[in-house]
Amino acid sequence: MAPNDDSRTRPDPHAIQQELLGYLGRSQRAIQQIDTEVVARFTASVVDAWHQDRQMLLFGNGGSAATATHLAEDLATYAIPFSEAKRLRVLCLNDSAATITALGNDLDFDSIFSEQVQQWARPGDLVLTMSGSGNSSNLISAIERAAALGCETAAMTAFDGGRLKGMVDHPMHVDVQEMQSAQDTHMVMAHMIIHGFRVAIRSFLAERTTGTSES
């Protein structure tokens, strides 16, 4: 065998494909468990928040932080025509590294979101978090603070839902035991919220302008 022959360590694409097919199947089954009624109720609350000029706060850890950022960005840009002056007041609390590290350093990690909720939230605002386990102490602390302030609360969870599932007004839970598939369901629910909000707002704007709903 030649010294540079790496055939023994070269990955087998067929074996990888089989693993990917298995993963895809698990994620598809998880996505089919999404409770669309619960997601629709929360989306209606987002629409109401826009009509009433209430604010929406989002946050998560790790991959869930990325999903929260994605949801906030699309609700702030894609969902409402730029010609419309009234926008959804939406803020993702995990987006400022300076704020998070300041709070983590000056207080503790459990305070990085609860202190921001204290600063920004007002009674009636929407507060949404995302967590695979539902047991992250910094997320629980923030939801507790939001509830104490009179906010409407929501959480996307997986596994058994943890503490968050039973704490919030809108528990968007999927019983899946794998973190990646759980995060897939959370991203799909995020896109469902974006789509539902976008259709509702654009239909309202079309009816306001022409007297007929946008299809």
Question: How many C-beta atoms lie closer than 10 Å to residue 25's C-beta?
Answer: 11
Over residues 115-142, the mean pLDDT reads 98
In a domain, 4, yes or no: no
Between helix 13-31 and helix 179-210 the angle, nearest 10°, is: 50
pLDDT digits (tens, 9 = 90+) for 165-198: 999 999 999 999 999 999 999 999 999 999 999 9
Structure tokens at 207: 């009816």
In a domain, 120, yes or no: yes
In a domain, 184, yes or no: yes
pLDDT for 7 beyond 80? no
Residue 113: give the domain boundaries. Answer: 44-210
- Pick from 98, 62, 58: nearest CA to 74: 58
In a domain, 150, yes or no: yes
What DSSP letter does each residue of the chain carry, written as one string?
Answer: --TT--TTTS--HHHHHHHHHHHHHHHHHHHTT--HHHHHHHHHHHHHHHHTT-EEEEEESTHHHHHHHHHHHHHHTTSS-TT-S---EEEETTS-HHHHHHHHHHT-GGGTTHHHHHHH--TT-EEEEE-SSS--HHHHHHHHHHHHTT-EEEEEE-TT-HHHHHHSSEEEE---S-HHHHHHHHHHHHHHHHHHHHHHHHHHHHHHHHSS---
Over residues 22-39, the mean pLDDT reads 97
pLDDT digits (tens, 9 = 90+) for 42-52: 999 999 999 99
Long-range contacts of 168-174 (CB under 8 A, 24+ apart): 168/143, 170/38, 170/41, 170/42, 170/45, 170/128, 171/38, 172/34, 172/35, 172/38, 172/39, 172/42, 173/35, 173/38, 173/134, 174/30, 174/33, 174/34, 174/35
CATH number, position 119: 3.40.50.10490
Domain count, the chain: 1
In a domain, 204, yes or no: yes
Contact 50, 88 (CB under 8 A): yes
Model pTM score = 0.92
In a domain, 96, yes or no: yes
pLDDT of residue 6: 63
In a domain, 22, yes or no: no
pLDDT for 214 beyond 80? no
* pLDDT range class, residue 20, cuts 50, 70, 90: very high
In a domain, 35, yes or no: no
pLDDT digits (tens, 9 = 90+) for 72-97: 999 999 999 999 999 999 999 999 99
